[in-house]
Homo-oligomer: A and B are copies of this chain.
Amino acid sequence: MIRCVILGYGFLGRRLAKELALNRVEGVKLVGIASSKGHIYREKGFKSSELPEDITRASDFREGSSLELVDGRLADLLVELTPTNIRDGEPGLSHIRRALEEGMDVVTANKGPMALAYEELTGLAEERGVMLLYEATVGGGMPLISLQKRCLMADELLEIRGILNGTTNYILSRMHFEGMTFDLALREAQMLGIAERDPSLDINGIDTALKIVILANSLMNARRKLSDVKVKGIRKVTSEAVAAAKESGMAIKLIGTASEEELSVAPRLIKLGDPLCIHGTLNAVNFKLRILGNLTIIGEGAGESTVSALLNDIREVARARSG
Protein backbone atom coordinates (compact mmCIF):
# COMPACT_ATOMS: atom_id res chain seq x y z
CA MET A 1 0.00 0.00 0.00
CA ILE A 2 1.44 3.37 -1.06
CA ARG A 3 1.22 5.94 1.75
CA CYS A 4 0.41 9.35 0.31
CA VAL A 5 0.70 12.84 1.84
CA ILE A 6 -0.81 15.99 0.36
CA LEU A 7 0.97 19.31 0.89
CA GLY A 8 -1.27 22.27 0.18
CA TYR A 9 -4.86 21.97 1.31
CA GLY A 10 -6.76 24.47 -0.83
CA PHE A 11 -9.44 23.70 -3.43
CA LEU A 12 -7.37 21.06 -5.24
CA GLY A 13 -6.02 19.50 -2.06
CA ARG A 14 -9.47 19.09 -0.58
CA ARG A 15 -11.00 17.65 -3.75
CA LEU A 16 -8.11 15.23 -4.23
CA ALA A 17 -8.14 14.17 -0.57
CA LYS A 18 -11.81 13.30 -0.95
CA GLU A 19 -11.15 11.07 -3.98
CA LEU A 20 -8.23 9.33 -2.29
CA ALA A 21 -10.18 8.83 0.94
CA LEU A 22 -12.86 7.15 -1.18
CA ASN A 23 -10.16 4.75 -2.42
CA ARG A 24 -10.50 5.85 -6.02
CA VAL A 25 -6.94 4.77 -6.72
CA GLU A 26 -6.29 1.18 -5.81
CA GLY A 27 -3.23 0.64 -3.68
CA VAL A 28 -2.95 4.22 -2.44
CA LYS A 29 -3.80 5.36 1.09
CA LEU A 30 -3.95 9.00 2.15
CA VAL A 31 -2.08 9.31 5.46
CA GLY A 32 -1.20 12.99 5.76
CA ILE A 33 -2.43 16.48 4.93
CA ALA A 34 -0.49 19.71 5.44
CA SER A 35 -1.24 23.39 5.00
CA SER A 36 1.08 26.32 5.61
CA LYS A 37 0.10 26.24 9.29
CA GLY A 38 0.77 22.64 10.15
CA HIS A 39 -0.38 19.10 9.46
CA ILE A 40 -2.33 15.99 10.37
CA TYR A 41 -0.80 12.53 10.06
CA ARG A 42 -2.90 9.39 10.43
CA GLU A 43 -0.99 6.20 9.88
CA LYS A 44 -4.12 4.13 9.30
CA GLY A 45 -5.44 6.57 6.71
CA PHE A 46 -8.38 8.94 6.39
CA LYS A 47 -11.96 7.97 5.77
CA SER A 48 -13.85 10.34 3.52
CA SER A 49 -16.14 11.37 6.38
CA GLU A 50 -13.11 12.23 8.53
CA LEU A 51 -11.64 14.81 6.18
CA PRO A 52 -11.66 18.22 7.86
CA GLU A 53 -12.63 21.33 5.91
CA ASP A 54 -10.11 23.28 8.02
CA ILE A 55 -7.26 21.11 9.22
CA THR A 56 -6.28 23.45 12.06
CA ARG A 57 -9.49 22.46 13.85
CA ALA A 58 -8.77 18.73 13.83
CA SER A 59 -7.94 17.33 17.27
CA ASP A 60 -4.74 15.76 15.97
CA PHE A 61 -3.58 18.90 14.11
CA ARG A 62 0.05 19.75 14.81
CA GLU A 63 1.58 23.13 14.13
CA GLY A 64 4.89 23.15 12.33
CA SER A 65 6.55 22.93 8.94
CA SER A 66 4.97 20.90 6.16
CA LEU A 67 8.40 19.41 5.65
CA GLU A 68 7.86 17.20 8.69
CA LEU A 69 5.54 15.10 6.53
CA VAL A 70 8.12 14.75 3.77
CA ASP A 71 9.80 11.81 5.39
CA GLY A 72 10.36 8.46 3.74
CA ARG A 73 9.54 6.69 7.02
CA LEU A 74 6.08 8.26 7.09
CA ALA A 75 5.08 8.28 3.43
CA ASP A 76 5.96 6.94 -0.02
CA LEU A 77 4.33 9.54 -2.23
CA LEU A 78 4.21 13.33 -1.98
CA VAL A 79 1.43 15.20 -3.76
CA GLU A 80 2.64 18.82 -3.87
CA LEU A 81 -0.18 21.35 -4.28
CA THR A 82 1.10 24.54 -2.62
CA PRO A 83 0.58 27.78 -4.58
CA THR A 84 2.84 28.60 -7.52
CA ASN A 85 5.62 31.04 -6.67
CA ILE A 86 7.52 32.19 -9.73
CA ARG A 87 10.24 34.02 -7.81
CA ASP A 88 11.96 31.05 -6.21
CA GLY A 89 9.45 28.21 -6.47
CA GLU A 90 9.07 27.99 -2.68
CA PRO A 91 7.84 26.31 -0.63
CA GLY A 92 7.05 23.72 -3.34
CA LEU A 93 10.62 23.46 -4.55
CA SER A 94 11.95 22.49 -1.11
CA HIS A 95 9.10 20.04 -0.62
CA ILE A 96 9.75 18.28 -3.91
CA ARG A 97 13.52 18.30 -3.53
CA ARG A 98 13.32 16.83 -0.05
CA ALA A 99 10.82 14.16 -1.13
CA LEU A 100 13.01 13.02 -4.02
CA GLU A 101 16.03 12.92 -1.70
CA GLU A 102 13.97 10.83 0.71
CA GLY A 103 13.29 8.35 -2.07
CA MET A 104 9.62 9.32 -2.31
CA ASP A 105 7.70 9.53 -5.58
CA VAL A 106 6.23 12.95 -6.34
CA VAL A 107 3.08 14.10 -8.14
CA THR A 108 2.55 17.84 -8.44
CA ALA A 109 0.31 20.57 -9.87
CA ASN A 110 2.81 23.28 -8.86
CA LYS A 111 4.21 25.07 -11.94
CA GLY A 112 6.87 27.04 -10.03
CA PRO A 113 9.31 24.26 -9.17
CA MET A 114 8.82 22.48 -12.50
CA ALA A 115 9.40 25.63 -14.56
CA LEU A 116 12.25 27.02 -12.46
CA ALA A 117 14.16 23.85 -11.58
CA TYR A 118 13.15 21.31 -14.21
CA GLU A 119 16.62 20.00 -14.85
CA GLU A 120 17.60 19.72 -11.19
CA LEU A 121 14.38 17.97 -10.17
CA THR A 122 14.11 15.54 -13.07
CA GLY A 123 17.83 14.78 -12.68
CA LEU A 124 17.39 14.13 -8.98
CA ALA A 125 14.38 11.88 -9.58
CA GLU A 126 16.33 9.84 -12.12
CA GLU A 127 19.35 9.59 -9.83
CA ARG A 128 17.21 8.33 -6.95
CA GLY A 129 15.13 6.03 -9.15
CA VAL A 130 11.86 7.65 -8.17
CA MET A 131 8.97 9.07 -10.18
CA LEU A 132 8.24 12.77 -10.66
CA LEU A 133 4.94 13.35 -12.48
CA TYR A 134 3.53 16.80 -13.23
CA GLU A 135 0.71 16.43 -15.76
CA ALA A 136 -1.42 18.75 -13.59
CA THR A 137 0.98 21.69 -14.00
CA VAL A 138 -0.20 22.40 -17.56
CA GLY A 139 -3.71 22.50 -18.99
CA GLY A 140 -5.58 21.34 -15.89
CA GLY A 141 -6.80 17.80 -16.37
CA MET A 142 -5.98 17.66 -20.07
CA PRO A 143 -3.44 14.92 -20.77
CA LEU A 144 -0.56 16.66 -22.57
CA ILE A 145 2.63 15.36 -21.01
CA SER A 146 1.34 11.83 -20.57
CA LEU A 147 -0.29 12.00 -24.00
CA GLN A 148 3.01 12.61 -25.69
CA LYS A 149 5.07 10.28 -23.49
CA ARG A 150 2.63 7.37 -23.52
CA CYS A 151 0.78 7.66 -26.83
CA LEU A 152 2.92 9.58 -29.35
CA MET A 153 6.54 8.66 -28.73
CA ALA A 154 7.01 6.83 -32.03
CA ASP A 155 6.23 10.05 -33.86
CA GLU A 156 8.27 13.25 -33.63
CA LEU A 157 6.93 16.39 -31.95
CA LEU A 158 7.96 19.42 -34.00
CA GLU A 159 6.00 22.27 -32.47
CA ILE A 160 3.61 23.08 -29.64
CA ARG A 161 1.15 25.98 -29.85
CA GLY A 162 -1.54 26.61 -27.35
CA ILE A 163 -4.01 28.67 -25.43
CA LEU A 164 -2.80 27.74 -21.96
CA ASN A 165 -4.47 30.33 -19.77
CA GLY A 166 -8.23 30.34 -19.23
CA THR A 167 -8.36 33.83 -17.69
CA THR A 168 -6.88 35.61 -20.68
CA ASN A 169 -8.93 33.46 -23.05
CA TYR A 170 -12.07 34.51 -21.20
CA ILE A 171 -11.13 38.20 -21.44
CA LEU A 172 -10.25 37.99 -25.14
CA SER A 173 -13.45 36.03 -25.85
CA ARG A 174 -15.59 38.72 -24.17
CA MET A 175 -13.79 41.41 -26.15
CA HIS A 176 -14.39 39.39 -29.34
CA PHE A 177 -18.05 38.54 -28.86
CA GLU A 178 -19.32 41.54 -26.88
CA GLY A 179 -16.99 44.26 -28.10
CA MET A 180 -15.90 44.99 -24.52
CA THR A 181 -12.77 46.89 -23.67
CA PHE A 182 -9.92 45.04 -22.02
CA ASP A 183 -10.52 46.81 -18.69
CA LEU A 184 -14.21 46.00 -18.60
CA ALA A 185 -13.68 42.35 -19.57
CA LEU A 186 -11.01 42.04 -16.89
CA ARG A 187 -13.29 43.53 -14.23
CA GLU A 188 -16.06 41.16 -15.23
CA ALA A 189 -13.67 38.22 -15.03
CA GLN A 190 -12.58 39.34 -11.56
CA MET A 191 -16.19 39.65 -10.40
CA LEU A 192 -16.88 36.11 -11.63
CA GLY A 193 -13.78 34.75 -9.88
CA ILE A 194 -12.21 33.86 -13.24
CA ALA A 195 -9.42 36.41 -12.78
CA GLU A 196 -7.57 36.91 -9.51
CA ARG A 197 -7.46 40.23 -7.67
CA ASP A 198 -3.91 40.61 -8.90
CA PRO A 199 -4.24 39.15 -12.39
CA SER A 200 -0.81 40.23 -13.60
CA LEU A 201 0.75 36.77 -13.98
CA ASP A 202 -2.09 35.76 -16.30
CA ILE A 203 -2.46 39.07 -18.15
CA ASN A 204 1.26 39.58 -18.68
CA GLY A 205 1.65 36.12 -20.19
CA ILE A 206 3.92 34.78 -17.43
CA ASP A 207 1.58 31.94 -16.49
CA THR A 208 1.52 30.83 -20.13
CA ALA A 209 5.31 31.18 -20.31
CA LEU A 210 5.79 28.90 -17.29
CA LYS A 211 3.66 26.26 -18.97
CA ILE A 212 5.50 26.59 -22.27
CA VAL A 213 8.83 26.08 -20.48
CA ILE A 214 7.51 22.94 -18.80
CA LEU A 215 6.11 21.56 -22.09
CA ALA A 216 9.27 22.36 -24.07
CA ASN A 217 11.60 20.82 -21.50
CA SER A 218 9.43 17.83 -20.91
CA LEU A 219 8.25 16.99 -24.43
CA MET A 220 10.92 18.43 -26.72
CA ASN A 221 13.98 17.71 -24.60
CA ALA A 222 14.75 21.41 -24.42
CA ARG A 223 16.79 22.87 -21.59
CA ARG A 224 15.04 26.22 -21.36
CA LYS A 225 14.38 28.65 -18.57
CA LEU A 226 11.61 31.20 -18.06
CA SER A 227 14.01 33.93 -19.17
CA ASP A 228 14.38 32.18 -22.55
CA VAL A 229 10.73 32.88 -23.41
CA LYS A 230 9.87 36.02 -25.37
CA VAL A 231 6.76 37.14 -23.51
CA LYS A 232 4.12 39.65 -24.51
CA GLY A 233 0.85 39.82 -22.60
CA ILE A 234 -2.62 41.00 -23.58
CA ARG A 235 -2.81 44.27 -21.63
CA LYS A 236 -2.32 46.34 -24.76
CA VAL A 237 -4.83 44.47 -26.91
CA THR A 238 -7.43 47.07 -27.86
CA SER A 239 -11.08 46.49 -28.66
CA GLU A 240 -10.35 48.04 -32.08
CA ALA A 241 -7.72 45.39 -32.81
CA VAL A 242 -10.10 42.64 -31.70
CA ALA A 243 -12.89 44.03 -33.89
CA ALA A 244 -10.60 44.34 -36.90
CA ALA A 245 -9.49 40.74 -36.47
CA LYS A 246 -13.10 39.62 -36.22
CA GLU A 247 -13.99 41.38 -39.47
CA SER A 248 -11.23 39.41 -41.19
CA GLY A 249 -12.58 36.11 -39.84
CA MET A 250 -10.02 35.86 -37.06
CA ALA A 251 -9.74 36.17 -33.30
CA ILE A 252 -6.88 37.44 -31.17
CA LYS A 253 -5.69 34.74 -28.78
CA LEU A 254 -2.80 34.61 -26.33
CA ILE A 255 -0.68 31.84 -27.83
CA GLY A 256 2.28 30.10 -26.26
CA THR A 257 4.64 28.51 -28.79
CA ALA A 258 7.52 26.09 -28.41
CA SER A 259 9.65 24.94 -31.31
CA GLU A 260 13.28 24.00 -31.62
CA GLU A 261 14.04 27.59 -32.58
CA GLU A 262 12.25 29.55 -29.93
CA LEU A 263 9.78 29.84 -27.08
CA SER A 264 7.30 32.68 -27.15
CA VAL A 265 4.07 33.97 -25.69
CA ALA A 266 2.15 36.67 -27.56
CA PRO A 267 -1.32 37.69 -28.73
CA ARG A 268 -1.73 36.21 -32.20
CA LEU A 269 -4.36 36.12 -34.93
CA ILE A 270 -6.07 32.75 -35.18
CA LYS A 271 -8.60 31.92 -37.88
CA LEU A 272 -12.15 31.34 -36.72
CA GLY A 273 -12.71 27.67 -37.48
CA ASP A 274 -9.13 26.71 -36.62
CA PRO A 275 -9.33 23.93 -34.01
CA LEU A 276 -7.17 26.13 -31.75
CA CYS A 277 -9.69 28.97 -31.93
CA ILE A 278 -11.76 28.11 -28.87
CA HIS A 279 -13.42 30.56 -26.54
CA GLY A 280 -14.40 31.16 -22.93
CA THR A 281 -12.16 29.72 -20.24
CA LEU A 282 -11.20 26.69 -22.34
CA ASN A 283 -7.61 25.79 -23.08
CA ALA A 284 -6.45 24.30 -26.37
CA VAL A 285 -3.11 22.85 -27.34
CA ASN A 286 -1.89 21.92 -30.78
CA PHE A 287 0.88 19.38 -31.24
CA LYS A 288 2.46 19.38 -34.69
CA LEU A 289 3.96 15.96 -35.35
CA ARG A 290 6.10 14.74 -38.23
CA ILE A 291 3.76 11.96 -39.36
CA LEU A 292 0.47 12.59 -37.58
CA GLY A 293 0.31 16.23 -38.57
CA ASN A 294 -1.76 18.46 -36.31
CA LEU A 295 -3.40 17.13 -33.18
CA THR A 296 -5.45 19.50 -31.03
CA ILE A 297 -6.59 18.86 -27.46
CA ILE A 298 -9.25 21.03 -25.88
CA GLY A 299 -10.48 21.10 -22.30
CA GLU A 300 -10.90 23.07 -19.11
CA GLY A 301 -7.41 24.17 -18.10
CA ALA A 302 -8.02 24.69 -14.42
CA GLY A 303 -10.21 23.92 -11.42
CA GLU A 304 -11.94 20.60 -10.83
CA SER A 305 -10.55 19.05 -14.01
CA THR A 306 -7.02 19.22 -12.57
CA VAL A 307 -8.01 16.58 -10.00
CA SER A 308 -8.33 14.13 -12.89
CA ALA A 309 -4.71 14.69 -13.94
CA LEU A 310 -3.52 14.27 -10.35
CA LEU A 311 -5.43 11.01 -9.96
CA ASN A 312 -4.06 9.68 -13.23
CA ASP A 313 -0.50 10.50 -12.20
CA ILE A 314 -1.07 8.92 -8.78
CA ARG A 315 -2.48 5.85 -10.49
CA GLU A 316 0.62 5.68 -12.68
CA VAL A 317 2.80 5.65 -9.55
CA ALA A 318 0.63 2.94 -8.01
CA ARG A 319 0.83 0.87 -11.19
CA ALA A 320 4.60 1.18 -11.44
CA ARG A 321 5.14 0.38 -7.76
CA SER A 322 2.75 -2.53 -7.61
CA GLY A 323 4.43 -4.58 -10.22
Contact = CB atoms under 8 A, between A and B. Distances in A.
Interface residues on A, range: 35 or more
Interface stretch (A29-37, A79-87, A240-248, A306-314): A306-314
Given A151-B151, A152-B312, A305-B291, A298 B296 contact: yes
A201 interface: no
Copies of this chain in its oligomeric complex: 2
B275 A282 contact: yes
Contact of A299 (B154, B279, B292): B292
Interface stretch (A60-68, A142-150, A182-190, A208-216): A142-150
A315 interface: yes
Contacts of A307: 291
A308 B311 CA distance: 28
B298 A154 contact: no
A24 B146 CA distance: 21
Interface in A228-279: 273, 275, 278-279
Contact of A293 (B141, B146, B275): B141
A207 interface: no
Contacts of A279: 273
A299 B293 contact: yes
A25 interface: yes
B142 A312 contact: no
Given A141-B293, A142-B295, 16 more contacts: A24-B154, A25-B154, A141-B292, A143-B147, A151-B312, A152-B312, A154-B315, A155-B308, A155-B311, A291-B304, A291-B305, A291-B311, A292-B305, A292-B309, A294-B299, A298-B298
9 contacts: A25-B154, A143-B151, A143-B295, A147-B151, A153-B312, A154-B311, A275-B298, A289-B308, A291-B308
